[in-house]
A and B are shown apart, each in its own frame.
Chain A
């Protein structure tokens, strides 16, 4: 089965840039989606199809995907960005599986 690897935690000071990675075998050939989840709340889609941003999501959120790593970048980080972030892909191999990464806790210092 396909595996997505995320760092358990990332810390960043307010106003700086946070980069959260999502590693997977040749993930650049797949479409990656990113979700933000705050405590006690349902996940919210923040980036889809590698780099598209849903309406209502600040331009500070961006995404890229190449080779074996996809990256969610949050510029000018704010205290309200503190949350868990999950990457997700569709594995269309024989398993045909929606796969989530293990999640990254973003801490704003």
Chain B
């Protein structure tokens, strides 16, 4: 079955760039679907960061757009998140997930990774 696994540093310094990767197994990203990133600060709710199609087409949260880059590497069957100029407010559990169907962000997230905690601190 399809599985997603986030990886990356658990600690990032303020003003630096947060970089995470989501490895996909059980399905070839190049076959379709949109793939997304969602985060959840400790004790708070879910916030969408952005989504990407295998072709590289992207949608970003308007409030984060200036700092976010999501890319896809079909050769490695993974997609990545970069969030620049981080502050303590970016401390959160970061999830990668798949959009059901292939229509785009209108589709729900049907498969999620387990999440990875990223702390922004000096």
From known contacts A42-B115, A48-B100, infer whether A101 and B45 are also in contact, taking CB-CB under 8 Å: yes
Query: Would you call A100 and B46 a contact (CB within 8 A)?
Result: yes
> How many residue-residue contacts, CB under 8 A, span A and B?
59
Interface size class of B (residues with CB under 8 A): 20 to 34
Mark each residue of chain A from 72 to 109: 1 if its CB lies under 8 Å from any CB of chain B, else 0. 00000000000000101010100111111111000000
Residue ID in chain B nearest A54 by CB atoms: B110
Classify the secondary structure of B's interface with A: loop
Instruction: Output the least CB separation between B120 and chain A (Å).
Output: 21
Closest to A31 in B: B106
Known: A42-B95, A48-B100. A90 touches B47 (CB 8 A): no
**A43 interface residue, CB < 8 Å from B?**
yes
Contact A100 B45 (CB under 8 A): yes
B48's contact among A42, A44, A97, A103, by CB below 8 Å, is which? Answer: A97
Q: Is A12 positioned at the interface, with any CB of B under 8 Å from its CB? A: no
CB distance from A23 to the nearest CB of B (A): 15
Residues of B within 8 A of A88 (CB): 46, 108-109
B62 an interface residue at 8 Å Cβ cutoff? yes
B47 to chain A, nearest CB (A): 7
Whose C-beta in chain B lies nearest to the C-beta of A47?
Answer: B108
Chain B 50-69 interface mask (CB, 8 Å, partner A; 1/0): 01000000010111000000
The 8 closest A-B pairs by CB, nearest first: A33-B108, A98-B48, A42-B112, A90-B106, A48-B108, A100-B46, A103-B45, A95-B62
